[in-house]
């Protein structure tokens, strides 16, 4: 299994400092919907404190939590890939403080500093690979539990 990485600590200090010049602090009260699947992905966050649930709407009445994020975790990656729409929804599970980044400004910075761009894309790819492996493991566990209960 891949190792979970934190975006800001994955960046070398000079690139991290450049990226942080674009950050501004935000907070979300508990139970706040931060974004909805299908919405425009024009920003991302690095969680400073609190917990966020990534959710998927499975029916009109049912939303399922697919992952939980906490301190240091990247929230939002759809800003990096066309069509720039959120694949999941996100909700503050507790009061959350985060650094918010405007996607257009970060992409412009990456054009100015290609080394930052490469490191950022690789870091996001590693984060996604880890989350995919974790999700696959959870699905396999649920399948095994369902098979046992069906017998």
Q: Give 73-118 pLDDT, tens digit per residue.
A: 999 999 999 999 999 999 999 999 999 999 999 999 999 999 999 9
The mean per-residue pLDDT over the stretch 16-20 comes to 95
Q: Helix 103-112 to helix 114-150 angle, to the nearest 10 degrees?
A: 130
Window from 8-12, 26-30, 55-59, 88-92 with minimum mean pLDDT: 55-59
State yes or no: pLDDT of 130 exceeds 90.
no
Q: How far is CA 122 from CA 84, 109, 125, 128, 130, in A?
A: 18, 16, 5, 10, 12
Q: What is the pLDDT of residue 2?
A: 53
Q: What is the pLDDT of residue 70?
A: 95
Q: What is the pLDDT of residue 4?
A: 64
pLDDT 10s digits, 35-63: 999 999 999 999 999 999 998 887 788 88
143: confidence class by pLDDT, cuts 50, 70, 90? confident
Backbone phi, psi, residue 80, to 5°: -90, -15
Interatomic CA distance for residues 32 and 98, integer angstroms? 13
Interatomic CA distance for residues 73 and 20, integer angstroms? 15
Q: What is the pLDDT of residue 73?
A: 94
Q: What is the pLDDT of residue 63?
A: 80
Provide the whole-model pTM: 0.86
The mean per-residue pLDDT over the stretch 127-141 comes to 80
Q: Which of 97-111, 117-131, 136-150 has the highest mean pLDDT?
A: 97-111
């Amino acid at each position: 299994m891949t190792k979970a990485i934190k975006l800001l600590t994955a960046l070398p200090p000079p690139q991290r400092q450049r990226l942080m010049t674009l950050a501004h602090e935000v907070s979300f009260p508990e139970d706040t919907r931060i974004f909805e699947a299908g919405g425009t992905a024009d920003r991302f966050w690095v969680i400073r404190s609190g917990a966020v649930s990534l959710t998927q709407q499975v029916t009109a009445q049912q939303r399922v939590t697919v992952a939980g994020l906490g301190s240091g975790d990247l929230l939002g990656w759809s800003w990096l890939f066309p069509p720039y729409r959120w694949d999941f929804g996100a909700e503050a599970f507790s009061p959350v403080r985060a650094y918010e980044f405007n996607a257009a400004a970060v992409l412009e910075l990456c054009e100015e500093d290609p080394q930052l761009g490469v490191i950022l894309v690789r870091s996001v790819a590693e984060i996604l690979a880890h989350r995919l492996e974790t999700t696959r493991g959870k699905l396999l566990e649920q399948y095994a539990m369902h098979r046992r209960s069906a017998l």
